[in-house]
Chain A
């Protein structure tokens, strides 16, 4: 376990050793801040049926910033080690390959969580200033942040997988960006294809991140997306592990 923590600590620290961490943090704060500001001013102008918290987690701004962060967070994980050759000292010490893979995944996840912490402040400030709660209930907060964590896990595991496939960070970023965007827009197809049969639309709906976020941000904790994202994360991490081990069986 100590070896795993050592690896994990190094992963988290390496984010803060590189400028990428700060660029992503600042970019993310700006976009989510503007998002929050727009939602509040929008609500000031007219009567709406939803709360500020729901609006914040379901806006275009939010999704744009959301999808873009994953390739940036994950592209260097393995690709950089391959490129610099540091994978060689790393895999010739007595650590298991799964420890390396999991430490990289959880390192990225920890940074991702850090990324989201400031947004909690927005709601607190809203509450302090307007003397009105930002959501219907406490469950809505838990639901939104749980969904963020689940989506984050899944998309980060996709990023891990694309990073282990190549030694070029740009290629890793492009592949994971395409994969995540495609997955994401798959959920939008149901809004476009109005004439498709209801089963097809329902089926796509099961995979729609927007749909899931809509449900969870109202405080409804549906177990189906939880199972979906946790199992998909495990699948992607298993693939990552296999690809990482491929140096052992590739001819």
Chain B
């Protein structure tokens, strides 16, 4: 559905994205991650036909986004960052206007507009001026707009930014359902969201792709696959020293001033050291009140790839 080859975009000579190569196939939900200024919005704008790349090429549904821009645009629904809307129009009026611009057949406009209002929960504000809507509703108008022409591909630039937790959950559910009929490329900062919705993830940093894989594979790949937390009374023992001797433990950080010490163990990936920790504790007569394994999250992957010095 999307094919990107050696895509480069420079602003005044400064590269915003460099040599991007990736593909998104039909029916995939692709997550697009990266710190602010990594080039996510630039890439999405190029794909949506808002501006051309400096070099390289990108195709949407087989159409070049620059050479055959109109055909490519006809296949996608784009929701820009921060959802710019005409504040002087009413919700239904705006959606009718957008439907006509997108070439939705005249007799189907009312039906489509009704459908997307239903889907995005806009029924109760349909006659309100867009300028008076809250951030959450504006976001939904943007999403409804993207869905109007039943596009094969949805490009959503931070669809959940500025929403409250309930709204985020609703939008996430919506995206998940949409993924059954549409191909979706979405960017976000909220990593648990990506883990829950996306079938594949691209992590982009300083304009380059750092990783492109399924969330599970990404988690397996990183150096520290989570760790173990132990909270115990160790008496006069040097707990950290003892714990470090366990095979697989790479590093131990100790917290806590009173008798109760909290040890955070960093462990090599694929090793479960909890049994060994328990044996050690019982041999040394430590009193334990917590022993948990912390799963690595996409956040760890993200930090490791985009901020290696903080790991």
**Given A3-B100, A88-B45, A94-B102: A247 and B80 interface contact (C-beta under 8 Å):** no
- Of listed A85, A92, A96, residue having the most chain B CB within 10 A: A92
- A7 and B97 alpha carbons, distance in the complex (Å): 8
Q: With an 8 A cutoff between CB atoms, is A95 at the interface?
A: yes
Q: With an 8 A cutoff between CB atoms, is A2 at the interface?
A: yes
How many chain B residues sit at the interface, stated as a range, is: 20 to 34
On chain B, the residues within 8 Å of A59 by CB distance are: none
On chain B, the residues within 8 Å of A49 by CB distance are: none
A17 x B88 contact (CB < 8 A): yes
A3 x B103 contact (CB < 8 A): yes
B78 x A89 contact (CB < 8 A): yes
B100 x A85 contact (CB < 8 A): no
Q: With an 8 A cutoff between CB atoms, is B85 at the interface?
A: yes
Q: How far is the CB of B140 from chain A (nearest CB, A)?
A: 15
B80 x A85 contact (CB < 8 A): yes
Q: With an 8 A cutoff between CB atoms, is B165 at the interface?
A: no
B73 x A86 contact (CB < 8 A): no
A87-136 CB contacts (< 8 Å) to partner B: 87-89, 91-96
B12 x A251 contact (CB < 8 A): yes
On chain A, the residues within 8 Å of B73 by CB distance are: 92-94
Which one of B46-54, B185-193, B256-264, B300-308 is at the A interface? B46-54
**Given A88-B50, A91-B49, A94-B70: A6 and B100 interface contact (C-beta under 8 Å):** yes
Count of inter-chain pairs, beta carbons less than 8 A: 69
Q: How far is the CB of B85 from chain A (nearest CB, A)?
A: 7
On chain B, the residues within 8 Å of A88 by CB distance are: 45, 50, 80, 84
Q: With an 8 A cutoff between CB atoms, is A248 at the interface?
A: yes
Q: With an 8 A cutoff between CB atoms, is A14 at the interface?
A: yes
Q: With an 8 A cutoff between CB atoms, is A200 at the interface?
A: no
A1-29 CB contacts (< 8 Å) to partner B: 2-3, 6-7, 10, 14, 17-18
A89 x B80 contact (CB < 8 A): yes
| B72 (CB) vs chain A CBs: closest residue | A94
- A125 and B88 alpha carbons, distance in the complex (Å): 37
Q: With an 8 A cutoff between CB atoms, is B278 at the interface?
A: no
On chain A, the residues within 8 Å of B88 by CB distance are: 14, 17-18
A86 x B70 contact (CB < 8 A): no
| A83 (CB) vs chain B CBs: closest residue | B84
On chain B, the residues within 8 Å of A93 by CB distance are: 73, 98, 101-102
- Chain A contact residue count (CB 8 A cutoff): 24
- A17 and B102 alpha carbons, distance in the complex (Å): 23
| A17 (CB) vs chain B CBs: closest residue | B88
- A14 and B76 alpha carbons, distance in the complex (Å): 27
Q: How far is the CB of B28 from chain A (nearest CB, A)?
A: 21
Q: With an 8 A cutoff between CB atoms, is A194 at the interface?
A: no
Partner of A89 from the list B52, B87, B145 (CB cut-off 8 Å) is B145
Partner of B84 from the list A7, A89, A248, A249 (CB cut-off 8 Å) is A89
Q: With an 8 A cutoff between CB atoms, is B82 at the interface?
A: yes
Q: With an 8 A cutoff between CB atoms, is A84 at the interface?
A: yes
On chain B, the residues within 8 Å of A3 by CB distance are: 100-101, 103
On chain B, the residues within 8 Å of A86 by CB distance are: 84-86
On chain A, the residues within 8 Å of B232 by CB distance are: none
Partner of B74 from the list A10, A18, A85, A94 (CB cut-off 8 Å) is A94
A92 x B48 contact (CB < 8 A): yes
B48 x A7 contact (CB < 8 A): no
Q: How far is the CB of B173 from chain A (nearest CB, A)?
A: 24
On chain B, the residues within 8 Å of A84 by CB distance are: 84, 86-87
B101 x A95 contact (CB < 8 A): yes
Q: How far is the CB of B258 from chain A (nearest CB, A)?
A: 55
| A248 (CB) vs chain B CBs: closest residue | B52
On chain A, the residues within 8 Å of B87 by CB distance are: 84
On chain A, the residues within 8 Å of B54 by CB distance are: 251
| B100 (CB) vs chain A CBs: closest residue | A6
Q: With an 8 A cutoff between CB atoms, is B13 at the interface?
A: yes
On chain A, the residues within 8 Å of B10 by CB distance are: 251
| A6 (CB) vs chain B CBs: closest residue | B100
On chain A, the residues within 8 Å of B51 by CB distance are: 247-248
**Given A2-B100, A7-B101, A17-B88: A96 and B50 interface contact (C-beta under 8 Å):** no
- A85 and B80 alpha carbons, distance in the complex (Å): 9
A6 x B101 contact (CB < 8 A): yes
- A96 and B73 alpha carbons, distance in the complex (Å): 11
- A2 and B50 alpha carbons, distance in the complex (Å): 22
**Given A18-B88, A251-B13: A92 and B82 interface contact (C-beta under 8 Å):** no
Q: How far is the CB of B149 from chain A (nearest CB, A)?
A: 9
What are 6 A-B pairs at a CB distance below 8 A? A3-B100, A17-B88, A84-B84, A87-B84, A89-B84, A247-B50
The 6 closest A-B pairs by CB, nearest first: A85-B84, A17-B88, A6-B100, A92-B48, A88-B80, A94-B73
Given contacts A10-B86, A17-B89, A94-B73, 6 further A-B contacts (CB under 8 A): A2-B100, A6-B101, A88-B80, A89-B85, A93-B101, A95-B101
Interface residues of B (CB under 8 A from A): 10, 12-13, 45, 48-52, 54, 66, 70-71, 73-74, 76, 78, 80, 82, 84-89, 97-98, 100-103, 106, 145
